[in-house]
Chains A and B, each alone.
Chain A
Amino acid sequence: MTLQAESQPSDGAPPAGPQTGGPRPLGEVALSFENISMQFPDGTQALEDVSLTIRQNEFVSVVGPSGCGKSTLLKIASGLFPQTSGIVKVDREQLGYTFQDATLMPWRKVRGNVELLMELRGYSKAERKRIALEQIKMVGLDGFADHYPKRLSGGMRMRASLARSLALKPNVFMFDEPFGALDEITRERLNDELVSLFMRNSFTGLFITHSIPEAVYLSSKVVVMSRRPGRILKEFDIPFAYPRDPNLRFSAEFAALCNEISVSLRQAIEQ
């Protein structure tokens, strides 16, 4: 994968690639939520009539107040929770999922952890090893394949967790606040690297976060959700071209957009 030129789509995947000067071309619908409502058995209404369509090669971030049901949305998409009503359209065989914690198995070394999902899918041993080492290199953990998770920093554990999901070459990749527990510097670095992974692997992204700058920096679209019960209040198209320049964070347009989303989020909380 690392040898691949940045503009080349990966094998067999729909056309994807960085286009300088405009948003990436959008493909077919990759994931759609149609009028999703979710009520937990204890009566908590988590989501109310949420509709959201994500196309191939889009990277959508969802921001919203704590407890508004953002994570629930991902759990519904993956099938961990069944929704109360509404329909989810997604190919669950092609789904990648990164949790809030790295959720590495402490008794396995980095390589063993990265191999896990392939193992569960029945890949051969040799293939697992090859892909795992490739992914470990891609996420910048070269040389740490034989380390146990307890010897890694928080950022490195998250990289290992990303590599584990990437190994299956997911078509839709869902992230549940993966960098929330990391310090700002590590988080920004991982954001940069996530953008380049996004460029190279041509997946469709659905990213949950509390951080507006992170959402804007990563995404082609940012969705603001309301307080519980979560509804979609507003969608913002992010016009910046991929690959994104780290200095984008300091530009006036970036700040203006963050500000606009921030205002909308504040309304969501006060509403």
Chain B
Amino acid sequence: MTQAPAPKLTDHQPVPVSAPSGALKNLMLLLVPPIILFSMFLILYAMVRANLQEHRQFLMPSGAELWANAFGRPEVLAELAQRSLITIGIALTGLSISIPVGILLGVIMFRATILERAMFPNLVALQSIPTLAIIPLIQTALGFGTLPKVLIVAKFTMFAIPITLLLGLKSVDRGIINLFRLQGASWRTTLVKACFPSAAPALFAGLRIAASLAVISAIVSELFFLAGRGGLGQMIINSKIDFKYEQMYAALITATFLSVCVYIAFTWLGHRLFSDWHESGGKEN
């Protein structure tokens, strides 16, 4: 009989547990990594710009140029602020249509499987219509006012809402539903007291997607509806026509900033509402 080789034992030392980090350290950990990554993108930008032929460098303005011709000039800042308000107004109005409609559609699909089967493919089809392709039709039908822009935002942002809501509503704990059934609760009571709260975190995931699309789609809509005093989208087109690329960049940067702000606002709201009880919440135990 061969003897089993002696087991090789290794000493494992205790691992020191790091002290709980302070609020400042947490904030640093939250902010520093994305800032470093962003700086790397800036360096990449500068390198690409440096390699451009001189007569093409206007395509990628430098920081100094941006300051001199856009962010450093009060009248440009005023214009940015004013146009931001218009764009954000379109974005939020669009959301104020898409959110209730999306929630309603999600609830209708949840009501009965037959309704879900009827509606789901049609929703996907609706989502698949390329917005750009129907813009001429919208222009003819609705003109160039605010309404078509708001509707385009609503169309862009609606899709994620019923989909995530339906998923959340369907994932309610069966046991909780049984509790309601045993007490003879109505479908409405069950929806309001059990399904909605349970689905709320999933719904908020959808709202975050919708929020991040709202500003972008508002700008896209403005690009095609250039009547009157428009928002940032119009500024982008105008600065291109006027060959003011710095201002175009300024509008782009402002639009991105607004988009991020809307996203953060929804994320913050979701966190406020659910962090106490939901697994996705930040609080440990």
Contact = CB atoms under 8 A, between A and B. Distances in A.
Nearest to A120: B183
Interface in A55-96: 78-80, 95
A107 B197 contact: yes
Interface in B226-285: 274, 276-279, 285
A260 to B, nearest CB: 34
Contacts of B194: 105
Query: Interface residues of A toward B: which range?
Result: 20 to 34
Interface in A148-164: 148-151
Contacts of A107: 197-198, 200, 274, 277-278
A117 interface: yes
B182 A95 contact: yes
| Interface-centre pick from A121, A148, A149 (highest chain B CB count, 10 A) | A148
A158 to B, nearest CB: 13
B183 to A, nearest CB: 4
A144 to B, nearest CB: 14
B175 interface: yes
A97 interface: yes
A42 B27 CA distance: 56
Interface in B155-179: 173, 175-176, 178-179
Interface of B (DSSP majority class) = helix
Contacts of B179: 97, 103, 116-117
B278 A120 contact: no
A80 B277 contact: no
Interface string B187-201: 001000110011010
A101 interface: yes
B175 A150 contact: no
A106 interface: yes
Contacts of B115: none
A98 to B, nearest CB: 10
Nearest to A116: B179
A103 B175 CA distance: 6
Contacts of B285: 150-151
A150 B173 contact: no
B111 interface: no
B185 interface: yes
Nearest to B178: A80
Contacts of B184: 120
Given A103-B175, A105-B194, A120-B189, A97 B182 contact: yes
Nearest to A78: B182
A254 interface: no
A79 B197 contact: no
B181 interface: yes
A99 interface: yes
Nearest to A101: B175
A120 B178 CA distance: 13
B180 interface: yes
A17 B204 CA distance: 52
A148 B197 contact: no
Contacts of A101: 175
Given A106-B277, A120-B189, A99 B175 contact: yes
Nearest to B200: A107
Contacts of A116: 179, 193
B283 to A, nearest CB: 9
A107 B193 CA distance: 10
A120 B188 CA distance: 12
B197 A105 contact: yes
Interface string A207-234: 0000000000000000000000000000
A99 B276 contact: no
B277 A79 contact: no
A151 B200 CA distance: 20
Nearest to B174: A103
Interface in A119-153: 119-121, 148-151
A99 B174 CA distance: 11
Given A103-B175, A105-B197, A107-B197, A150 B182 contact: no
A150 B277 contact: yes
Given A105-B197, A148-B276, A150-B277, A79 B182 contact: yes
A103 B176 contact: yes
12 contacts: A79-B182, A95-B182, A97-B182, A103-B173, A103-B179, A106-B277, A107-B197, A120-B184, A120-B189, A120-B193, A121-B183, A148-B277
Given A80-B178, A103-B179, A151-B285, 11 more contacts: A79-B182, A105-B176, A105-B197, A106-B278, A107-B197, A107-B198, A116-B179, A120-B183, A120-B185, A148-B276, A150-B285
